[in-house]
Amino acid sequence: MADLVSHPDEVKLISYRFGKGATSIDKYLELDGYSSARKAIALGPEGIIAEMKASGLRGRGGAGFPTGLKWSFVPKQAPKPKYVLVNGDESEPGTCKDRLIFEHDPHSVIEGVIIAGLAIGSKMGFIYLRGEYRYLLKIMEKAIDDAYAKGFLGKGIFGSDVDFDIVSHTGAGAYEVGEESALMESLEGKRGIPRIRPPFPAVVGLYGGPTIINNAETLATVPHIFRIGGAEYAKLGSERNGGTRLFCLSGNVAKPGVYELPMGYNLKKMIYEVGGGIPGGRSLKAVVPGGSSTPVLLPNEIDIGMDFDQVGKAGSMLGSGGVVVLDDSVCMVEFALRTMKFYQHESCGWCIPCREGTDWLKKTLTRFHAGAGVAKDIDNIRYLAQNMLGRTFCPLGDAAAMPTIAFVDKFRKEFEDHLDGKPCPYAHHPEAALAHA
């Protein structure tokens, strides 16, 4: 099933409890669990935020916003209650890491939420899991119950005068709900349509009150930062990109799996050494570095360190850590089409450039891949995608447009090879890619 893998280059900071039965609260306590929450109570809000800033932790959901800075935006005084919201809606294609945290170390998320709550003066946290992660929700529910039973949640946590409650919550199938403002809308019982920003959630969030929303991996990392110290955490990574992160290696690679590697780890090394290279005698054609929303990289562009800044400089994004490796049997036009089908399906429909743009791209790429494309389609695809950028309430439009631009720019020849009714050069025998053994 969701098997665990390992490689000597891993730095097992947040994954060191995986496979050790840490869903049991007693085991979690044995493995240094809940000591950071106690430390945080003693440190107080300013101390907590200072340590978070020192760690250099940046959001692990995709955007990479500095976590300590985000927490510091919450006003000290606020007329409405404040909340902590865990984004466990993991749905970015290529991403399967939060799943392992929920499965093997749910208490680390709970502990992270408690620390975040202490930092901002919140009394309530929500852990939102995507609907498809039902078995993980059950694990999380038990972990929360166990934490209450031990007095780590509820009234006077850890014997302090702080009250803190956590409620777990299921989604029901929607990628867009992973966008932080759509997540809040969904938690409030509505369609997952994003909100205009400003105001940002740290000031006006859930139920109108200040809210910090963080990805599950980000919050799971928090207790470890207090366990080893912010500065120590920062040192594990690269400049301005502290720590380690979970990378999900998938696609045409010999050893797919979720690996915890330092920020800044070389992508080429990741594919060929950690991932074992491309199997079946094939060669590398392209890599999607951080989930389907990130522009594709060519083989001559992968000699880069995987952190937010270096991948940004290379014209793409670190994103969600979903590293999808493509070999030379993949048709990039079909890949672009499948990507657009996804965004068209998941677009919430609110903003015209996204709703109409993803729909047009899907229809045009469908016609194009089927052999009915004309030369000017290629430039039109790029032109339309370009005009979607920055014109929507949320980044879903950009997430569809930026990869499209990269597909056209980097694989124009492949698009041209589909013109004039020519059959797809990569059309394979049905079931050829699906093993029978």
Partner 1 sequence: MSTAITTIFSPALAARFDRMVTLYPLRRSALIPMLLYAQDEVGCLSDDVIREVAARVEITELDVRNVLSYYSLLHTAPRGKYHVQVCTNISCMVRGGNELFDHCKKRLGIGNKQTTPDKLFSLEEVECIGACSWAPAVQVNYDFHENLTADSMDKVLDDYRTRD
Say how many residues make up the chain: 437
Q: What number of chain residues touch partner 1 (CB under 8 A)?
A: 67
Q: Does 352 bind partner 1 (CB under 8 A)?
A: no
**Tokens matching residue 94:** 């290529």
Structural contact between residues 287 and 269, judged by C-beta atoms closer than 8 angstroms: no
Asked if residues 186 and 180 have their Cβ atoms less than 8 Å apart, the reply is no
Question: In this chain, which stretch among 127-135, 311-319, 370-378, 411-419 interacts with partner 1, using CB under 8 A?
Answer: 127-135
Residue 179 near partner 1 by CB under 8 A: no
- State the minimum distance, in angstroms, from the CB of residue 354 to partner 1: 15
- Segment (H or E) for 244: strand 244-251
* Site membership for partner 1, residue 413 (CB under 8 A): no
Contact (Cβ atoms closer than 8 angstroms) between residue 222 and residue 112: yes
Q: Which residue among 19, 45, 47, 81 contacts partner 1 (CB under 8 A)?
A: 81
349 or 390: CB nearest partner 1: 349
161 binds partner 1 (CB under 8 A): no
Q: How far is the CB of 111 from partner 1 (least distance, A)?
A: 21
Min dist CB 384 to partner 1, Å, is 21
φ, ψ of residue 282 in degrees (nearest 5): -90, 170
Shortest distance, CB of residue 237 to partner 1, whole angstroms?
A: 22
> Looking at 62-70, 189-197, 227-235, 390-398, which segment touches partner 1 (CB under 8 A)?
189-197
Let me know: does 249 contact 326? Beta carbons within 8 Å: no
Task: State yes or no: residue 430 binds partner 1 (CB under 8 A).
Answer: yes
Q: Considering only CA atoms, which of 85, 52, 84, 89 is closest in space to residue 67?
A: 52
* Distance (Å, whole) CA 63 – CA 2: 26
| DSSP 8-state class, residue 159 | G
Taking the alpha carbons of 311, 315, 320, 322 in that order, is the dihedral positive or negative?
negative
Distances (CA, A) of 283 to 96, 328, 417: 25, 6, 20
**Residue from 61, 64, 94, 295 in contact with partner 1 (CB under 8 A):** 94
Applying CB under 8 A, which residues contact partner 1? 1-3, 81, 90-96, 98-99, 124, 130-135, 167, 169-175, 186-192, 206-207, 248-252, 256-258, 288, 292, 322, 324, 326-327, 330, 335, 338-339, 342, 345-346, 348, 430-437
